[in-house]
Amino acid sequence: MAVSFALSGSRCASNCLLKQNVIGKCKSAVNCRQFSLSTTCQATGEPEGPRVVTQEIPGPKSTALKNELNSLQNNAAVQMFINYGKSVGNYLVDADDNIFLDVYNQISSMPLGYNHPALIQAVKNPDNMQAFVNRPALGVLPPNDFVEKLNTSLMSIAPPGLKEIQTMACGSCSNENAFKAVCFWYQNKQRGGKPATEQELRSCMVNEAPGAANLSILSFMGGFHGRTFGALACTHSKPIHKLDVPSFDWPIADFPKYKYPLEQFQKENAAEDSKSLAQVEDLIDRYQKKRPVAGLIVEPIQAEGGDNHASDSYFRKLRKLCLDKGVAFICDEVQTGGGPTGKFWAHEYWGLEVPPDVVTFSKKMLTGGYFYRDEFRPEQGYRVFNTWLGDPSKMVLLQEVIKVIKERNLVKNMEITGAHLLKGFKDLQSKHVGKILNARGRGTFAAIDFASPEARDKAVKCLHKRGIHCGGSGTKTLRVRTALIFEPKHADIFLDRLNQVLKDDF
């Protein structure tokens, strides 16, 4: 299977057709290029659609490989083995040559799909060789082009109002170190900017106050922020993530639980917002007496917890509450960042007067880290630190990703394709009454619920057998996490297969 993408408008493959249902009527391709991926970078090497050639998923080759892996480690989470050499664009090919349309997207982490030529060229480019061969300890010995790479990659898409950045490797360590930065900021305020006392320096070495600050981070039920100790203390999506792991006495608030369709339950959902905000304020006040809340962390959409949404108004009020209480506001954009919601950063929808204090990222950004307001910069070295602090080779790839996103207007494509997908969900919801519920989403970051966890799990398996690779979130939610090159034509394939499942298997 050849991997081929059109790389520019002037060299667009002949089958890059302008589709009326994507962009409407335009007078010229130049005009259309502002609105649609289809005009410039259709993946010509993509198959026409999914194809399943084995009776079961996983197929025999994947099953054999799973058994081999089991002799070396726990394989319980492994779904199938993938031939990444054959995978292309939005399509995933497994070890048995089954072809899947991928709406799982490596847990929302592939910005341009599989084997995008811009990334392949970046790896082949001799000028980038040193970044891939040498992995420096960035905190002490960064490469001489590190500042340039930061400015042309991460800082070129920094959230509005945030001008500083700390690189990391993954989502968990991004959140974990954001917590540390917030605690440093809080304690520095308490000291009035003065240096730590000798008592603080001695006591922190034996995990005691005042040096080991008795602070907390407020989080929400349904949230997911990672699996390291601090991040796990703020994670409340599935018991299996937390079982047997010691944790902290940190406050947990209820996230709003909305009823759908939204337009029919405005009063009830507004009451949910008010109830959650009141609880957050009460928790901050109560914990002030025993374990002050240094920061609050929240996802724009609770991604692992069940695709739980809240209104823009709710988030604006939550931000103001943090400002009023002197609590740092951490926005976890590990899953939502990078464009899938139709904005590069999902919190841009909120219309905040004051930006978040910290925005964490990973996944589609290819590397981890967090943007922050300048008052959250530690004064001393080695306070936010590890050996690598990320990987310069990922910034080489991210430069190319950002270039493609901007040239192809892929964030706009997510808005257009997301609207098409959500309409399709709602149509199926009306057609198959009671089988699927609560269609919702921003961009292609979308979801539907099933009547029960068992029904959701059955749907995932049935979709796999029809060539759709997908996954769940929460207890009964089917989530959609696409690459930025996912178009309405791909959404139509997914919706058609979902319709088949609902018609034939339920």
Examine the domain organization and report whether 139 and 213 are in the same domain. yes
Distance between CA atoms of 165 and 65, rounded to whole angstroms? 41
Catalytic residue among 273, 307, 332, 449: 332
Tokens of residue 486, six digits: 């996912």
Examine the domain organization and report whether 435 and 393 are in the same domain. no
**Which residues contact residue 185 at a Cβ distance below 8 angstroms, ignoring those fewer than 6 apart?**
294, 328, 375, 376
How many domains does the chain fold into?
3
Tokens of residue 482, six digits: 């696409």
Distance between CA atoms of 464 and 165, rounded to whole angstroms? 40
Examine the domain organization and report whether 276 and 423 are in the same domain. no
**Which residues contact residue 462 at a Cβ distance below 8 angstroms, ignoring those fewer than 6 apart?**
501, 505
482 in helix, strand or coil?
A: coil
Tokens of residue 184, six digits: 């440093």
Known catalytic residue: 363?
Answer: yes
Catalytic residue among 163, 197, 259, 387: 387
DSSP string, 227-262: SSHHHHHT--S-HHHHTT-------EEPPP---SSG
- Containing structural domain, residue 476: 410-505
Examine the domain organization and report whether 222 and 257 are in the same domain. yes
In a structure prediction context, what are the per-residue pLDDT tens digits for the chain, which is 506 residues long?
333 444 333 323 323 322 333 323 333 222 332 333 443 345 558 999 999 999 999 999 999 999 999 999 999 999 999 999 999 999 999 999 999 999 999 999 999 999 999 999 999 999 999 999 999 999 999 999 999 999 999 999 999 999 999 999 999 999 999 999 999 999 999 999 999 999 999 999 999 999 999 999 999 999 999 999 999 999 999 999 999 999 999 999 999 999 999 999 999 999 999 999 999 999 999 999 999 999 999 999 999 999 999 999 999 999 999 999 999 999 999 999 999 999 999 999 999 999 999 999 999 999 999 999 999 999 999 999 999 999 999 999 999 999 999 999 999 999 999 999 999 999 999 999 999 999 999 999 999 999 999 999 999 999 999 999 999 999 999 999 999 999 999 999 999 999 999 999 99
**Which residues contact residue 11 at a Cβ distance below 8 angstroms, ignoring those fewer than 6 apart?**
none
Report the CATH number at residue 317. Answer: 3.40.640.10
Identity of the residue numbered 232: L
Asked if 95 and 81 count as a contact pair (C-beta separation under 8 A), the reply is yes
Distance between CA atoms of 32 and 14, rounded to whole angstroms? 16
Known catalytic residue: 425?
Answer: no
Catalytic residue among 343, 363, 412, 476: 363
Known catalytic residue: 387?
Answer: yes
Distance between CA atoms of 212 and 201, rounded to whole angstroms? 9
Tokens of residue 164, six digits: 């500083």
Catalytic residue among 5, 81, 100, 224: 224
Tokens of residue 267, six digits: 């009063």
Measured between alpha carbons, how far apart are the two ends of the chain, in Å? 35
Domain assignment present for 32? no
Examine the domain organization and report whether 397 and 419 are in the same domain. no
Known catalytic residue: 465?
Answer: no
Four-residue CA torsion sign, 490, 495, 500, 505: positive
Per-residue pLDDT at 1: 38
Distance between CA atoms of 64 and 74, rounded to whole angstroms? 15
For residue 387, is it left (φ>0), alpha (ψ between -120 and 50) or beta?
Answer: alpha
Domain assignment present for 114? no
Q: Which of 407, 433, 459 is the last residue of a domain?
A: 407
Asked if 182 and 295 count as a contact pair (C-beta separation under 8 A), the reply is yes
Distance between CA atoms of 235 and 362, rounded to whole angstroms? 17
